[in-house]
Amino acid sequence: MKSADIAPTPGIRLPRVNQVGIVVKDIVSAVTHYESVLGIGPWFRTKTASHETFYRGKPVTVELDLAIAFQGGTEIELIELKGGDECIYSALLRKEGGGLHHVGSIVSSYDRAMKRVRDAGVGVIQSGVITTKGGAVTRYAYLDTVRQCGIITEIIESKLAGIPVPQNKLMMRIGCLTGDVERVKAGG
């Protein structure tokens, strides 16, 4: 897409971008690459208990492996599609073998953010709820913003015991204690 093809949608202002999502073929290889070549790490893998997913409004089964690290104030999310139905990651894997997928905004109120998105007429490509083994709940929606932004955007809300929690290195280390995440070491 050329920048001349991007047309802002009146009435919508997305929250600040603080996540970059990258679809990869293999999490461990990607972690090793990003850590050794770009110096990004430490990496944390989510320990998912359940994942309810809707693709283009229909329920689908998706099996993912997710690894998260931070570079400055930005979360880097690696996404490996391990199996399941057709979903938002499938086409990128088929066409490009993976790559830059989305930019994300972590919000304290998913419902408020999604109301603004819907009021502006922006569509949702995929949404879902991920519950980790330690009880953290993340609600997310991938928005159809390629025309407006040149890339898919994601709205993300994470809560533990109903309280919004930030996504940062400290919370990942706490997540290691609660069972929500585990450290991923380069090379395995």
Q: How far apart are CA 138 and CA 130, in angstroms?
A: 5
Residue 153 structural domain: 3-184
- Please write the tens of the pLDDT for every residue from 133-181: 888 999 999 999 998 888 999 999 999 889 988 888 888 888 888 888 9
What average pLDDT score do residues 103-120 get?
93
The pLDDT tens digits of the residues spanning 21-71 come to 999 999 999 999 999 999 999 999 999 889 999 999 999 999 999 999 999
What CATH number does residue 93 fall under? 3.10.180.10
Sorted by sequence, the CB contacts under 8 Å of residue 110 that are 6+ apart come out as 139, 141, 155, 156, 157
Query: CA–CA distance from 49 to each of 28, 109, 110 (Å)?
Result: 20, 23, 21
Q: In the chain, how many domains are there?
A: 1
pTM, 2 dp: 0.91
